[in-house]
Homo-oligomer: A and B are copies of this chain.
Amino acid sequence: MSHKVNLDKLDYQIIQEMMENAEISYADLGKKLFVSGGTIHVRIKKLEEVGIVKGTKLSVDLKALGYDVIAFIGIYLEKSSLYDTVAKDLRKIPEIVRLNYTTGNYSMFAEVVCKDIQQLRFVLHDELQKIKGIERTETFISLDESFSRNVIASGE
């Protein structure tokens, strides 16, 4: 459980700004938010210490990298108690980049990223069929990503 930390407007502004672009310098971000670069530095250090900021990641264009196919897979389990073992098996498939245990129709929800439809076919027909405990799956291939963005960082 994450014990509540009190963040002020400046903290949220820093997070908001750097979720989109982490390359901005402390001095420049400070100018933008009307504080010194030193203050930005102190705040970010605090946000790292309390675990809100986990680091920075390279933002990569998947299409440009050759990954043209994104799909979502709804997974029905034979028994919901099989969740952990099936999750462990799904983790071994590198094309599956995300797995959630969900309420509703499906027991689990997976996101797959593949280079092409042939690779997706392989994941669905070969890799997934091997896994014991999956009753059936439903696949939703993304034809277009309308948008993808960050949450709004604010205290309400």
Interface residues of A (CB under 8 A from B): 2, 4-5, 15, 18-23, 50-67, 70, 72, 74, 87, 90-91, 94-95, 97-106, 108-109, 113, 115, 138-153, 155-156
Is there contact, CB below 8 Å, between A63 and B2? yes
Give Cα A72–Cα B98 distance, bound, in whole angstroms. Answer: 13
A-side interface mostly: mixed
How many copies, total?
2
Indicate which residue in B2, B98, B140 contacts A64 across the interface (CB closer than 8 Å): B2
Contacts of A108 in B (CB 8 A): 146
Interface residue from B57, B101, B155 paired with A20 (Cβ < 8 Å): B57
Q: Which of B2, B22, B145 contacts A100 (CB 8 A)?
A: B145
Q: Which of B90, B102, B145 contacts A141 (CB 8 A)?
A: B102
In the complex, 28 of the A-B residue pairs with CB atoms within 8 angstroms, ordered by the A residue number, are A2-B64, A5-B64, A19-B57, A19-B58, A21-B55, A21-B56, A23-B56, A51-B61, A52-B61, A53-B60, A56-B59, A60-B150, A60-B153, A97-B148, A97-B149, A97-B150, A98-B145, A98-B147, A99-B145, A99-B148, A101-B145, A102-B140, A102-B141, A102-B142, A102-B143, A105-B140, A113-B151, A115-B156
